[in-house]
Structure 1
Amino acid sequence: MTPAINSAKHAGIGFQVHEYQHDTSAESYGLEAAEKLGVAAAQVFKTLVVTLDGKQLAVGIVPVTGQLNLKKIAKAAGAKKAAMADPDEVERATGYVLGGVSPLGQKKRLATFLDASAEGFATLYVSAGRRGLEIELSPQDLLSLSQAQLAPIAV
């Protein structure tokens, strides 16, 4: 059980947990998840943490088939610029290790933005809090649970 799964259980939403054998040599954890779970890669989303204006952290959730556009997430957050956050800072703020960062159940509540492409799916997959573990839920439930805003933040 991870904080992400506990968060979904506590909220009483519909979700499914999917586990697979994580290959430590995998280059892309998200693409590995899609392949091993047999789902479209565009339906698997990665959770990335950025620093806004060098001060506060924010979360971007984008398809593993694309990349986070730093200018777009900065604009969505009302900041001048965004940069990828320091890995140690990410782990301290979220409580998760890189490659297993979930948008759910984080230690600190961070401003969160979900790429608008998520609306095209009945369900999507995000990390459930560790490598080799994904949680499948509706985009609406993800938005609600993470208090995220929908924005076009992916490239």
Structure 2
Amino acid sequence: MSEVYHLLIDHLTKHGVGFEEIEHPPAASAEEYSRVVGSALHEQAKALLLRRHRRGGGKDFLIHSLPGDQRADLHALAGLLEAKRLRMADADELEEATGCGFGELPSVGSVFGLRLSMDVRLLTQKRIFFNAGVLHRSVVLDPNALKNLESPIVVAAQGTVDAENTAPSS
């Protein structure tokens, strides 16, 4: 099991966050993940590592969590996150900042010393699902418990676009 997995589980447990853990086969897409864990796409908290170029200068990374049936509109999201520019982190940056590979990143920034931003629509769900630092284990929890743990930047839906009808932004 990966170090990130153990850090995540220990972090949630230490802070008294109630969660369920699911072991499952790795999934290659959001649709396949939905089938193997038994979630709806909008219940999936997809995590993206973003490189933020701040308006006042400086750069940092943050994790943005959004529903699995959406894609981030980085231009709109930049305005909501006080950034001149946002871009997706590359594989090397993801590994260096979090120890995760693509698809493994959990929607919990504090495990990595990073800020979390969260699409407001995730907070309307009774439960959300996300990978637990490995592709074959997931965490299921109340999104408000995650909000209480992380104190995320909660962003409005205009930072996303319907993944089925629009090509991803860059």
Fold in common (TM above 0.5): yes
1:148 and 2:149 are equivalent in the alignment:
no
Asked if structure 2 preserves the Cα contact closer than 8 Å seen for 1:6 and 1:105, the reply is no
Aligned to 1:31: 31
Pairing partner for 2:98 from 88, 94, 101: 94
- Regions of 4+ moved over 6 Å: none
How well do the aligned residues superpose, as a CA RMSD in angstroms? 1.8
Paired residue type of 2:149: L
Q: Which amino acid aligns with 1:74?
A: A
The whole-number CA distance in structure 1 between the counterparts of 2:45 and 2:133 is 13
Q: Is the 8 A contact 1:3 1:106 kept in 2?
A: no
Matched, 1:71 2:75: yes
> Normalising by structure 2, what TM-score?
0.80
Normalised TM-score (structure 1) = 0.87
Structure 1 CA distance for aligned equivalents of residues 71 and 132 of structure 2:
20
1:9 alignment counterpart: 13
Give the partner amino acid of 1:38. G
Q: Give a deviation string over 1:96-146, Cα, whole Å, max 9, x none.
A: 222101123766322211111112211111111110211011111112323
Q: Percent identity?
A: 26
Aligned length: 151
Q: Could you list the runs of 5+ residues in structure 1 that have no partner in the other structure?
A: none
| 1:134 counterpart = 2:138 | yes
1-structure distance, mates of 2:21, 2:44: 13
Please list, as runs of the form range in 1=range in 2, the aligned pairs for 1:75-86 lying within 5 A after superposition: 75-86=79-90
Cα distance change on mapping 1:56 and 1:7 into 2, 3 Å = same
CA shift in 2, pair 1:64/1:44, >3 Å = same
Residue number in structure 2 paired with 1:43: 43
Mapped contact 2:45–2:107 kept (Cα < 8 A): no
Evaluate the alpha carbon distance shift between residue 87 and residue 146 of structure 1 in structure 2; reply closer, same or farther with a 3 A threshold.
farther
